[in-house]
Amino acid sequence: MLDSRIKNAYKKILEEELQEATGCTEPIALALAGAKAAQVLGSLPEKADVYCSGNIIKNVKAVVVPNSGGIRGIDTAVVLGMSAGDPDVGLQVISKVSDEQRDALKKHLQEIKVKVHLAQDVPTLYIRIEAYKGKDKATVEIQQTHSHFTLIKRNDTILLSKECLQFKENANKSLMNVKDILEYAETVDLDDVKEVIEMQIKDNTAISEKGLQGGWGEEVGKTLISCGDCNVRLRARAAAAAGSDARMNGCPMAVVINSGSGNQGMTVSLPVIEYAKELGVSSEKLIRALVLANLIALHQKRYIGYLSAYCGAVSAAAGAGCGICWLKGGTYEEICDVITNTIATAGGMVCDGAKSSCAGKISISVETALMAVDMALNRHVYRNGEGMVKKDIEKTIEAYGRMAAKGMAKTDVEILNIMMED
């Protein structure tokens, strides 16, 4: 039986990680920083210097900022946050932009001079905005997670100063392991998790349905449905891809994220939801499957980090595969095998920023996870010593995390260099 410390940690992790966010979380973090800077100044800035880590630049370059009228770019996210954002609602900062504010955005983009700088020797998730109005200056810094302010200043007066987040005892991710995650999912009091999981089901299903209607990006999800045998396997891929189609191309509907990412939040949840419908399981069983899926994805990402050159759709799909395997009666050993089979097949798919092709990567990742489920349920798993597969699941997860965080660090730099070329 799990002790209370582990139960409290897992409950807190789900509460902290499964947040609602409107739009791709990197431009939304910029909008949040911009909105806070304007709030500190008490008016719209005249100019701003924006310092970003490479991963922020990479993930904002090609994605449409929601409620912007279809515009892309760091300056768009920052200025929309400054002119129309509410910093007090976190990652929902630009969820309630009025038509008048949207129409005024182009004028504000001409009036507010924004200069973007690549910040050196900073965490992979880093934003600092220095905004000016007359003789006044506001400085706002976000690090480590998309809504964690580490510095807020007005002129020389420090209004807030925090270190990077440290795990509190009741949200300690170092306590995570697959065996305890499975026991928690199977035994947790549903009242502890029901609210956040039901929000994930509602929000992510709604944006997926919007994406399947078409008109968003390259319509990966809609194309899958229209061109193939519409079985549950295809529907699972299409549902997750369609949510990304909409989100990457400016749909202003909220998504419940996982590991700081809406794409990962949809990838980890929507395939499980589709299989739950197909299997006719109870709402209680679906909630437990999603608790399992989300925590497995988060367990992998604690080694990888929020942003890297490793496509997070793979770790999210592995989580979804575990949820689906469990719905089909899978054991602890088979769930471990799903993770191994998924990441040993697709682990290392590169992230080259948030954009329309994320939907395609999600589709491929989900298909890999579904293949991994089939393999596991038929007693097939990649063995110790084959590539980076280790003798137990925890060592395998750690090995792929090490590869992603350390081994792919130079890859991340080169991807950014290539993306910034003409």
Domain ranges of the chain: 21-161, 169-419
239 has a pLDDT exceeding 50: yes
Please report the pLDDT score of residue 167 as a whole number. 47
pLDDT of residue 373: 98
Is pTM beyond 0.85? Reply is yes
Tell me the CATH number of domain 169-419, given options 3.30.750, 2.20.100, 1.10.4100, 3.30.1360.
1.10.4100
Rounded to whole angstroms, the Cα distance separating 228 from 205 reads: 21
pLDDT 10s digits, 29-74: 999 999 999 999 999 999 999 999 999 999 998 999 999 999 999 9
Whole-angstrom distance, CA of residue 361 vs CA of residue 369: 12
Range 168-195 average pLDDT: 89
Average pLDDT over all residues of the chain: 95
- C-alpha span between 271 and 237 (Å, rounded): 7
pLDDT at 421: 86
Q: Which fold does the domain 21-161 belong to in CATH?
A: 60s Ribosomal Protein L30; Chain: A; (3.30.1330)
User: Are the folds of 21-161 and 169-419 the same?
Assistant: no
Question: What are the tens digits of pLDDT across the range 272-287?
Answer: 999 999 999 999 999 9
At 150 the pLDDT is: 95
C-alpha pair distances (Å), 129 with each of 163, 239, 269, 289, 302: 17, 37, 34, 40, 27
